[in-house]
Amino acid sequence: MDRIRIVGGTPLKGTITIGGAKNAALALMPACLLTEETLALSNLPHLVDITTMANLLAQHGVMMALNGNATNGGHTGRVLELTAAAIGNTTAPYDLVRKMRASVLVLGPLLARCGEARVSLPGGCAIGTRPVDLHLKALEQMGARIELDGGYIIASAPGRLKGAHIIFPQITVGGTENILMAATLAEGETVIANAAREPEVTDLAECLVAMGARIDGIGTGTLKIQGVERLHGAEYSVVPDRIETGTYAVAAAITRGDIELVGARFDLMESVNKVLMECGVHVEETPRGMRVRADKGDINGVDIMTEPYPGFPTDMQAQLMALMSTAHGASMITETIFENRFMHVPEMTRMGARINVHGSSAIVRGAPKLSGAQVMATDLRASVSLVLAALAADGETIVNRVYHLDRGYERVEEKLAACGAKIERLKDGVAE
C-alpha cells in the first residue's frame, strides 16, 4: 500500500498546471449512454475514479478509445472517445458501485435510453450515509417504477419517461445530474427547481446541449428541459477542476509561498478566493490562470461555513482547516453539507493542530508550528489536507493509505515537488 513521505518547511514557488474536474468528468462520461453516437471528451484528468467509471461503462457495452498525445505526463492532450452504440447490460454491479458512489449517475441515462436499469445502491462512505432517495423520488415523478431489492435499485420506465416538475427539498449535485440527463430524452418538459448550480452541473448541461439537448436556465437554480427524441455525438472539453485549484492555492498559502495555477478558472473560485484574501493571502488573476502568494505578512484565522455553490465548497473544508491550523488567532469552521466530514481532525491533532469539534462546527486555534507525524488518510479531501499540513510542519510526515489521494489528485507529489516540496511516494514503504 503506497505511502507519501513529506519533510515540511519549504515555501513552495513556481507553477502548477490544473487538470480537468474529476466531478465534471464523472457526470460527463455516463452522458455517452444517452446516444448511440460518439462523445469525445478532452481534458480528462488521469485519476483512479475516471478509470473506475470507464470500467463501469465498458461493462454496459460502451466502446472507448483514448487518442491524442499525452503532454506533461497526464491525460492533458488526450481525447477519450465513448460510443454506446448498443447497451448490452443495464446492471451496474455492487463491486464497481461500492468503489465509487458517482456510479449511480448511470441510472438516469440507462432509464432514459433503455427503459430499465439495475444499479447497486452506493452505500455510505467515510463522510456520511449519502443516500440517493432524492434521485429515486424524482425519477418516480417522471414515471419510473423503482424497487429496492437485495441492495439494488431495480428501475423500469415502460414506454418513455415523462417530463415532470421536480422540486428538490435540498440541493443535490448528483440528483440534479441524474434528472438532467434523464429529462433530455423524456416526453415533454421537465422543470428542476432548487437545482444544484455547481460548475460541474453547468459543464454537464453545456455538454448535453452540444449533444442536441434543449436546456434553459443553465447555471441557475431552475433548469427547464424540453425532451427530444434522440441526442447525437459531440466533442467537449472538461472544465478545469476548481477543487484542485483551491487545494494548490492552500499549498501556496500554508507554506507561505508563491505559486501560479496555470489553467485555473478564476471566475469559479470566488468564494474560495474571498476566504483566502480575508486570511491575508494575496490572490490575483493572471493571463494563464491565477497567482497565489503568502510570502509577506501573516495568515489570520477566519470563520468558514460550507454551502452549495456559489458558497464555500464542502470539498475545500478540510484543506482550509489545515491552513487555519497554522494561522494567527481562532477560526470557526461549520460543515453544513455532510454529517461526518471532520475525519481529518484526529489526524491533524496528532501533528499538533489545536481543533475542537462541536457537532457540525470545529473551533481551530492556530498553532505556531505543526510537527510531522505518521498519519492516516480516510477520504479524498481529508488525505490531501494532511499533505498540506505536512508541507508546513517541522520534520517528517508519512501519510498512509494514499489510495484515497489517487482517486482525485493527478500526480500530486510531482506537482508539489516541481515547486520545491520535499515529497516522495513510498511504494510499499520503499522510495520509488
Interface residue list for ligand EPZ (CB under 6 A): 23, 26, 101-102, 128, 130-135, 170, 172-175, 200, 314-315, 337-338, 380-381, 408
125 is catalytic: yes
Q: Which of 326, 337, 408 is nearest to 368 (CA)?
A: 326
| Dihedral, 378, 382, 383, 389 alpha carbons, nearest 10 | -130
Cβ contacts of residue 390 below 8 Å, gap of 6+? 6, 8, 351, 372, 375, 397, 399
Radius of gyration of the chain (CA): 22
3-state helix, strand, coil in the chain (%, to 5): 35, 30, 40
Closest approach of Cβ 124 to ligand EPZ, in Å?
A: 9
Q: Which of 319, 347, 348 is nearest to 333 (CA)?
A: 319
CA atoms within 13 Å, Cβ hemisphere of 391: 32
Closest CB to ligand EPZ among 143 and 408?
A: 408
Closest CB to ligand EPZ among 26 and 44?
A: 26
Q: Which of 422, 363, 367 is nearest to 398 (CA)?
A: 422
Which of helix, strand or coil describes residue 140?
helix
Closest CB to ligand EPZ among 284 and 339?
A: 339
Closest CB to ligand EPZ among 130 and 282?
A: 130
At 331, phi and psi to the nearest 5? -145, 135
How are beta strands 145-149 and 116-120 bridged, if at all? unpaired
Which of helix, strand or coil describes residue 432?
coil
**Chain centroid to CA 162: how far?**
30
Are the C-beta atoms of residues 383 and 404 closer than 8 Å to each other?
yes
Closest CB to ligand EPZ among 105 and 294?
A: 105
| Residue facing ligand EPZ at closest CB distance | 174
Closest CB to ligand EPZ among 76 and 314?
A: 314
Cβ contacts of residue 51 below 8 Å, gap of 6+? none
Which of 125, 207, 279, 419 is an active site residue? 125
Q: Which are the catalytic amino acids? A: 125
